[in-house]
Structure 1
Amino acid sequence: MQLQFSKMHGIGNDFVVLDCRYRDFPLAATQIRALADRHTGVGFDQLLSVEPARDLSCAFYYGIWNADGSPSGQCGNGVRCVAAWLHRAGAVAIGDMLRLESPSGPVTVRLLDTDRVAVDMGEPIFDPSRIPFDTPQAADRYVLDMDGEALEIGAVSMGNPHAVVVVDHLPTHAMPRLGPALTGHARFREGANAGFVQKLDRQLLHLRVHERGAGWTRACGTGACAAMAVLHQRREVGDRVQVELPGGTLQIDWAGPGHTLWMTGPAAFAFEGVWSVPTPTT
């Protein structure tokens, strides 16, 4: 089978986008992993499929798969790319607002330009049972046992679970060890994205993220939202923050509880291609 695809990225967080509006999603997990291989496949952090909406209040559904073939609930950089892809497909015009259905539920996007999109990411979820995170009660800070070492984190869901660690400097020598360990920590029973954030001032953050199912990425949209939300909950940042990641900068706006959080940033096309799909293996 020959598979047509679009390669896109949001500040370096890269994706393969498949048009599944008129056909079923065609790939098994082993084929997703083969497509994700950066040496023998195409390479991506996440695979995105554009499909008919299940929710009739939404225009389209988008599926999300990590590079290891596992499904994901949300992807902030990915939804911006989906919106830009739909614009090029003629489904949305510049200035329009569009309601899309993610695996975690509906999101609203506003196309600001051909390559810039604002996304209503919903209200951050701090309820531990909904993240999910194993703790007896909600708090601004939690302490995890990392092989005998105590590590303070914030925990929040942006449609997917996040552990946020505030650090004095980026990069830190402990990040290569702590990132994977946090992602797979037992108190996050579904795993977590591990964000390491440095606060420069109340309007500017630096961030690195180790994503579950993808590893270290150049950018993570939900990770940027999570870092801002955790620090805002602690009253350490204002209502608008610029988050600098290795691939670029995102703007995050959140006025606090009772309000939804908006993420604004670029979406770019890299190239179009055709991939020869290997026969799935067990």
Structure 2
Amino acid sequence: MALHFTKMHGIGNDFVMLDCRQQPFALDEAQIRAIADRHAGVGFDQLISIEPPRDPSCAFYYGIWNADGSPSGQCGNGVRCVAAWLHRAGELSIGDTVRLESPSGPVTVRLLGPCEVTVDMGVPVFEPARIPFQAETEAERYPLLVNGHTLEIGAVSMGNPHAVVVVPDLQAPELAAHGPAVTSHARFPQHTNTGFVQVVSRDQLRLRVHERGAGWTRACGTGACAAMAVLHRRGVVGERVRVALPGGELTIDWAGPGHTLWMTGPAAFVFEGEWLDSSAVR
């Protein structure tokens, strides 16, 4: 039996989308890894299933799995692709606002165009225990010993954990080692997504992200949200920021603590296909 899928991306962060509205998701970790293989499979940063909601207040549920087969709590670029996919499937019209259910809880999306979406990403969480991150008290900055160096990080959850490190140069060679080391650091018991951010101005950032379960990616929507939230809390940026990632640009709006954060950006369709490897299909 072939597995039909849609390949999509949000500014280079790429996904395999599965229609599970009529039949339950039935792939195990090994099968997900096989499809994620960029040489022998399809290749993706995350796999996303679109399913009936568990929460009756939501229109649909979407599940998220990383390329290594591990589950993910949230994906900002992915939810924009979910909205665009639902529009193409006839489930969502331009101008509609709909409530979707993610593994981390409800998310509100507004379809601005066929492939342009704004998303309510919720209220950033800075409390260490809820990220989760090991720290005695909540702070705007934490020292983190990495590869014999002490890095200054911000820690926040956007439905998934993030470490944010301000750097003067995104191409500095030491970042290649620091990214994986921070991502798997023992003070993040569930591992973390690591964002290296360069401040261009009060309304513009440049960002590079090493994602847990996926490695270096061309874009990370929750990472852009996390970087903005950490720097806005410190007073470094204003309430609207453009975040440039290797794959493109996102706009992040946040009025500050107690308010929800909004992310706006594109979603793109790449191709439709069928996975024919019988070992990866039940």
TM-score interval (norm. to shorter): over 0.9
Shift of 1:277: 3.5
Shift of 1:205: 0.2
Structure 1 SS opposite 2:77 = helix
The code of the aligned residue for 2:9 comes to H
1:15, 1:45 within 8 Å by CA — same for their partners in 2?
yes
Indicate whether 1:154 and 2:154 are aligned: yes
Indicate whether 1:45 and 2:37 are aligned: no
* Partner in structure 1 of residue 269 of structure 2: 269
Indicate whether 1:251 and 2:268 are aligned: no
* Residues in 1 aligned to 2:164 and 2:206: alpha-carbon distance in whole angstroms: 12
Structure 2 SS opposite 1:279 = helix
Shift of 1:170: 1.6
* Residues in 2 aligned to 1:237 and 1:257: alpha-carbon distance in whole angstroms: 14
* Partner in structure 1 of residue 130 of structure 2: 130
The code of the aligned residue for 1:158 comes to M
**TM-score, normalised via structure 1 length:** 0.98
Shift of 1:222: 0.1
The code of the aligned residue for 1:209 comes to V
* Partner in structure 2 of residue 110 of structure 1: 110
Shift of 1:255: 0.3
1:31, 1:277 within 8 Å by CA — same for their partners in 2?
no
* Partner in structure 1 of residue 187 of structure 2: 187
1:31, 1:278 within 8 Å by CA — same for their partners in 2?
no
2:147, 2:178 within 8 Å by CA — same for their partners in 1?
no
Q: Which runs of 5+ in 2 are unaligned?
A: none
Indicate whether 1:119 and 2:119 are aligned: yes
Structure 1 residues 280, 12: closer, same or farther in 2, change over 3 A? closer
The code of the aligned residue for 1:28 comes to D
* Residues in 2 aligned to 1:59 and 1:182: alpha-carbon distance in whole angstroms: 36
Shift of 1:149: 1.6
What does the per-residue CA deviation read over 1:164-213, in whole Å, with 9 as the maximum and x for residues that have no partner?
00001121111110000000000000000000000000000000000000
* Partner in structure 1 of residue 86 of structure 2: 86
Residues 1-282 of structure 1 mapped to structure 2, 5 A cutoff: 1-279=1-279
* Residues in 1 aligned to 2:110 and 2:92: alpha-carbon distance in whole angstroms: 10
* Residues in 2 aligned to 1:71 and 1:212: alpha-carbon distance in whole angstroms: 10
1:156, 1:162 within 8 Å by CA — same for their partners in 2?
yes
* Residues in 2 aligned to 1:96 and 1:3: alpha-carbon distance in whole angstroms: 30
Q: Which runs of 5+ in 1 are unaligned?
A: none
The code of the aligned residue for 1:99 comes to R
The code of the aligned residue for 2:75 comes to C
* Residues in 2 aligned to 1:121 and 1:213: alpha-carbon distance in whole angstroms: 21
* Residues in 1 aligned to 2:229 and 2:76: alpha-carbon distance in whole angstroms: 14
Shift of 1:26: 2.1
2:35, 2:280 within 8 Å by CA — same for their partners in 1?
no
* Residues in 2 aligned to 1:112 and 1:171: alpha-carbon distance in whole angstroms: 34
Shift of 1:280: 5.7
* Residues in 2 aligned to 1:14 and 1:148: alpha-carbon distance in whole angstroms: 33
Shift of 1:278: 3.6
* Residues in 2 aligned to 1:277 and 1:235: alpha-carbon distance in whole angstroms: 52
Structure 2 SS opposite 1:177 = helix
The code of the aligned residue for 2:111 comes to L
Structure 2 SS opposite 1:178 = helix
* Residues in 2 aligned to 1:59 and 1:268: alpha-carbon distance in whole angstroms: 22
* Residues in 1 aligned to 2:229 and 2:122: alpha-carbon distance in whole angstroms: 11
Runs of 4+ aligned structure 1 residues displaced above 3 Å come to: none
1:229, 1:254 within 8 Å by CA — same for their partners in 2?
yes
Structure 2 SS opposite 1:40 = coil
The count of aligned residue pairs is 281
